[in-house]
């Protein structure tokens, strides 16, 4: 029985989609220029009652902590004229969960890139001269399969982002620490729902453009071979 290359290409394509999406998430979520732009649009520093310098420093501490570049969230700032710790215990505990979720996602991303390389390599060794056509065909099928799911999620987010964001937290977190008070908790004041809406849109847009380019290349090679 001859081994078919298509299953390997399909699995490899799925791995690529997952890895590419998580890479877009990683790059967009830690883009400092994006934070500066959002803070300016939302007038974040003034809303919180802290200086631009303190807000920038707090953001650096927060992002470094999530990426496991520092061990704690101990950061002081002057807020409404009072020198105090920026984050309270509940916020810190929630960020422990966020950090763990991020690190798990990056592990999935890394394994997905490895899976992509291994599966595509095996597929090429099996199909040899027909690898370009088979690979392009499976890429298109895998992308269409995953995009159908992402499109439904995207529509849900556009129609009711608050519900979408709440369900996201229910799925990925095992406690209710993410219920923060916008009147007292600095973390939610720094990144309110509008911030996350813009971030999700940026991630999806970057991912969509990249996937569109991959589709166009796949269509080109598929038609050329055909």
* pLDDT value at residue 218: 77
* Per-residue confidence (pLDDT) for residue 129, from 0 to 100: 66
Q: Is 85 helix (H, G, I), strand (E, B) or coil?
A: strand
Token pair of 26 as six digits: 């990683």
What does the alpha-carbon distance between residue 117 and residue 16 come to, in Å, rounded to a whole number?
9
Which single residue is written with the structure tokens 């520093």?
45
Which tokens sit at 138?
């499976």
Q: Note the Cα 55 to chain centre separation in Å.
A: 23
Residue 136: is it exposed, middle or buried by C-beta count within 10 angstroms (0-12/13-18/19+)? buried
Domains of the chain, by residue range, sit at: 6-225
Residue carrying structure tokens 């971030």: 199
- Which distant-in-sequence residues (6+ apart) come within 8 Å of 130 by Cβ? 5, 225
Residue segments in the chain with a per-residue pLDDT below the cut of 70: 1-3, 128-131, 222, 224-226
- CA dist 111 and 113 (Å) reads 5
The answer to whether the beta carbons of residues 131 and 138 sit under 8 Å apart is: no
Task: Report the pLDDT value the prediction gives residue 3, as an integer from 0 to 100.
Answer: 67
């Amino acid at each position: 029985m001859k081994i078919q290359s298509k299953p390997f290409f399909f699995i490899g394509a799925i791995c690529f989609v997952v890895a590419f999406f998580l890479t877009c998430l990683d790059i967009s979520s830690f883009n400092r220029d994006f934070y500066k732009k959002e803070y300016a649009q939302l007038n974040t520093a003034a809303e919180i009652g802290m200086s631009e310098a303190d807000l920038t420093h707090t953001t650096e501490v927060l992002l470094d902590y999530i990426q496991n570049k520092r061990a704690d969230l101990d950061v002081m700032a002057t807020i409404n004229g009072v020198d105090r710790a920026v984050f309270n215990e509940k916020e810190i505990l929630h960020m422990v969960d966020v950090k763990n979720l991020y690190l798990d996602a990056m592990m999935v991303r890394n394994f997905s890139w490895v899976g992509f390389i291994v599966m595509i390599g095996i597929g090429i060794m099996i199909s040899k001269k027909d690898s370009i056509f088979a690979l392009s065909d499976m890429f298109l099928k895998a992308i269409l399969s995953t995009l159908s799911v992402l499109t439904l999620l995207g529509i849900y987010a556009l129609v009711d982002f608050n519900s979408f964001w709440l369900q996201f937290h229910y799925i990925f977190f095992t406690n209710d620490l993410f219920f923060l008070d916008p009147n007292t908790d600095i973390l939610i004041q720094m990144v309110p729902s509008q911030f996350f809406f813009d971030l999700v849109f940026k991630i999806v847009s970057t991912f969509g453009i990249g996937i569109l380019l991959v589709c166009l290349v796949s269509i080109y090679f598929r038609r050329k071979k055909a």
